[in-house]
């Protein structure tokens, strides 16, 4: 079992709009609205990226993958997640575990949670048992509860790479 030496916290929120593809935690969701953003706007992976970078002391997603850079226009957040994990590894860290909470009033995410967990594990290079995905509603309150937006929070534990 890996000892956790550092912990990082990530958060993100994106508005929903018709005509956009909905991707959460790297998994395509059949839904008439998607998240709005410079990249694919995967709110779950964006929170995860911030948690990985934060735990490694490498800043945040906006510094690593700025929305002012055309390279990241419509970027696959899965690839950005893999790059963030690689950046942490180059800094001497490996992901020990990840815990993610997705906040969405609808659609129901229960049927997708295992696929999300497996996808995140693949992107981070860890066993699926080291990843947890939860889905919560905002009970009809605020922009998430009214269906205007989705949000996500992530906590990641990093272990120091040892020779």
Q: Is residue 93 assigned to a domain?
A: yes
Q: If you average pLDDT over residues 143-151, what whole number do you get?
A: 97
Question: Which domain range does residue 104 map to?
Answer: 6-160
- Quick: pLDDT tens for 58-87: 999 999 999 899 888 889 999 999 999 999
> Structure pTM?
0.95
Question: Burial of 135 by CB count in 10 Å (0-12 exposed, 13-18 middle, 19+ buried)?
Answer: buried
Among residues 152, 143, 154, the alpha carbon closest in space to that of 15 is found at 143
Q: Is residue 34 assigned to a domain?
A: yes
- pLDDT above 90 for 162: no
Q: Which CATH number characterizes residue 22's domain?
A: 3.30.1330.50
Tell me which DSSP letter residue 73 carries: T
Q: Is residue 41 assigned to a domain?
A: yes
Q: Is residue 1 assigned to a domain?
A: no
Q: If you average pLDDT over residues 14-28, what whole number do you get?
A: 97
What's the domain count of the chain?
1
């Amino acid at each position: 079992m890996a000892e956790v030496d550092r912990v990082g916290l990530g958060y993100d929120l994106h508005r929903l709009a018709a005509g956009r593809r909905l991707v959460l935690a790297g998994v395509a969701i059949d839904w008439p609205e998607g998240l709005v953003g410079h990249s694919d706007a995967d709110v779950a992976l964006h929170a995860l990226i911030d948690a990985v970078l934060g735990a490694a002391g490498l800043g945040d997603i906006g510094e690593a993958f700025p929305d002012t850079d055309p390279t990241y226009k419509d970027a696959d957040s899965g690839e950005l997640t893999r790059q963030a994990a690689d950046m942490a590894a180059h800094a001497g860290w490996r992901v020990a575990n990840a815990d993610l909470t997705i906040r969405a009033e609808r659609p129901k995410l229960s049927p997708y949670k295992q696929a999300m967990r497996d996808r995140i594990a693949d992107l981070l290079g860890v066993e699926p048992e080291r990843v947890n995905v939860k889905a919560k509603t905002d009970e009809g309150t605020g922009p998430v509860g009214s269906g205007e937006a989705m949000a996500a929070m992530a906590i990641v534990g990093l272990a120091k790479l040892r020779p």
